[in-house]
Chain A
Amino acid sequence: MIKNLKKQNVWFVFTPYLWLVLFFFVPLALIFKISISVSEWGMPPYRDLFSLSENGLKINSTLGNYLFIFSDPFYIRSYLNSLSLAFTSTVLCLLIGYPIAFYVAKSKPSIRNILLIMLIIPFWSSFLLRVYAWKVLLQGSGIINSILIHIGLISEPISMLHNHYAVILGVVYTYLPFMILPLYGYLVKFDLNMIDASNDLGAKPLNTFVKVILPLSLPGIVAGSMLVFIPVVGEYIIPEMLGGSDKLYFGKIIWDEFFVNRDWPIASALAMSGIVILVFPIIIFQLMYAKYNFRNE
């Protein structure tokens, strides 16, 4: 009986790893392989890494793709654009999401569930549709312009679409729940006596927030910010649908390299660099944070 149970446990432990290996490490390895291959015309559009010739096994690998993308400011600028988009939207999500999460966490349990469902309902429709809806709302003949013209605030439709503000709007709208839900998770466990205790000890509401509520909800802030920041760096669809030519983003560049220029090695090198540049700060951050969290448990 116990032996059977142990066998089951092994599967419990290994299933997630199997999933990780199959759907994360293998594709990543493939991308890495392509990123150090030499580009050529054909299908697939790169030379095999290993080829047999009269002289024996030949390795056709190159670091040229990496050298190329790091020597061209065009790629670096697009990456910085994406980082800045991710940073701005994370901050905005935090500023908008924190009060919402706090309010939901502090409402009565009966109301709380309704509010949570309202937060999650948008997920029931397709992400693509929701972003497209913003396009409809923001366009020249859209509802917002029509209303503004109708009430006489403006006479000509203002162009709200196809610029990086529209992208930020779309990103914040889409990723807000990813900020709110982890924050809610921490705030709902928050002992309200802490707030009373802080007030009682002489701290005014603002000081209570800065000295007690904020530090104690830090894990939620970190989790929510990661959930927003990381995917936004590689975000493709929102800039593509709502953005214009004023700013180019990293996701779009990778797409173009893959499908427009059909330069798979360059595209793969871009993707790999993007991951590596993000992964190291995240690992360091996670380690620091794990230490902080451990001390707090």
Chain B
Amino acid sequence: MSEPFLQIIDVSKRFDNVVALDKVNLKIAKSEIFSLLGSSGCGKSTLLRIIAGFEKPDEGRILLEGKDITKLPPYVRPLNIMFQNYALFPHLNVTNNIQFGLKEEKISKEEINHRVNEILNLLELNGLEKRKINEISGGQQQRVALARCLVKKPKLLLLDEPLAALDKQLRVQTQFELVNLQYKLGITFIIVTHDQEEAMSLSDRMAIMKNGEILQVGNPVEIYEKPKDKYIANFIGTANIFNVLNKNNQIIIKELNYEVKNINNKENYFKCLIRPEKISVKKLENQSDNLNIGVVKEVAYLGSYTKYLIDVNGFEFYSFMQNTLVSDNLQIRWDDKVQISFNETSIYFFND
């Protein structure tokens, strides 16, 4: 990343006395899909609105391809935004919605028609040209909203919860379509979402936000496997967080009373994370004095995998087991005693 495509430098924003953004810094590369992920009120939408130009930051600057766009009004910024509710114009038909933005540019009528047709083909909206917005389905509305932005050939496309208004099945399908489209066009996408699964499946990189600050930036694997703190670990997926004891050069996972032997880094850590799918459980046939024995408190069969809530000496954590074999019934049931195992390389140490 030599020259970042979009650079957000020390951007702060307050509404009355509430801090919405607190000295946010971000660098986004050309042609990447970048997600801003966080629960509601974390400032992700405010940041998106500042990039779009609807809000002015109290402090800080926004650079697009090295050019300061902080003070530019939205109608001259070479970027477009797709709204969560799409904000399509109900008094215009599909074609007029799509060519709305082109008519604001100085482009010939032939060129407008050509580009509208191109985008109609790309997003498979042919046949809907004359329909009103209320006469097409939610999925079609989403594609019209996308078309209305993309026809402008923006350098940067902002998407505010792009899939939130779709039902679940359509959402999964649209996720892939969105990624394919981005790959085809090479436009930089910035996506705001509260849905961690959506962010993981769409993004090249993502930023986790909380209380107007960016907690961590990284690709989905980094964020999931190496979260910076407990909040991120819990926000992305399910997290089993254990306390770590450092005694006479021994590193012990306190709740499991387990000594970690193969650890390179002898730094003092206080916490560790083991994701549920990295912990496997096996039903104990005969009683043994093995330390890693837990009791199954809850079982949730989810088809492709099963969730177990395990109790070890009063401490509860999850294990997700892939259902790799066809079986007639649950292999492990409530109150069964189980042996717990995990690979030591699956332990991620961190300080809270």
Contact = CB atoms under 8 A, between A and B. Distances in A.
A296 B83 contact: no
Interface string A254-292: 000000000000000000000000000000000000000
Nearest to A218: B91
Contacts of A200: 52-54, 74-75, 77, 80-81
Given A193-B83, A202-B105, A212 B134 contact: no
Nearest to B93: A295
A215 interface: yes
A194 interface: yes
B91 A196 contact: no
Interface string B70-113: 00011111001101010111110000000011001100000000
Contacts of B54: 196, 199-200
A24 B101 CA distance: 50
Contact of A202 (B52, B81, B90, B104): B104
Given A200-B81, A202-B152, A207-B104, A296 B90 contact: yes
A108 B220 CA distance: 39
Contact of A203 (B85, B88, B104): B104
A204 interface: yes
Contacts of A216: 89-91
Nearest to A216: B91
A50 B149 CA distance: 74
B27 interface: no
Contacts of A212: 89
A163 interface: no
B307 interface: no
Contacts of B194: none
Contacts of B171: none
A215 B152 contact: no
Contact of B83 (A197, A204, A295): A197
Contacts, number: 66
A72 interface: no
A199 B73 contact: yes
Given A196-B74, A196-B83, A296-B90, A201 B52 contact: no
A77 interface: no
A146 interface: no
B30 interface: no
Contacts of B77: 200
A211 interface: yes
Nearest to B151: A201
Contacts of B74: 196, 199-200
A296 B100 contact: no
A204 B72 CA distance: 12
Given A196-B54, A196-B74, A295-B132, A202 B101 contact: yes
Contacts of A197: 81, 83, 87-89
B148 interface: yes
Nearest to B99: A201
Contacts of A296: 90-91, 132, 134
B100 A198 contact: yes
A196 B52 contact: yes
A297 interface: yes
A246 interface: no
The 4 closest A-B pairs by CB, nearest first: A201-B101, A202-B104, A193-B87, A197-B87
Interface of A: 191, 193-194, 196-204, 207, 211-212, 215-216, 295-297
Given A200-B77, A296-B132, 4 more contacts: A193-B87, A200-B52, A203-B100, A204-B104
27 contacts: A193-B83, A193-B87, A196-B52, A196-B54, A196-B81, A197-B81, A197-B83, A197-B88, A197-B89, A199-B53, A200-B54, A200-B74, A200-B75, A200-B77, A200-B81, A201-B100, A201-B101, A201-B152, A202-B75, A202-B101, A202-B105, A203-B104, A207-B104, A215-B91, A216-B89, A216-B91, A297-B134
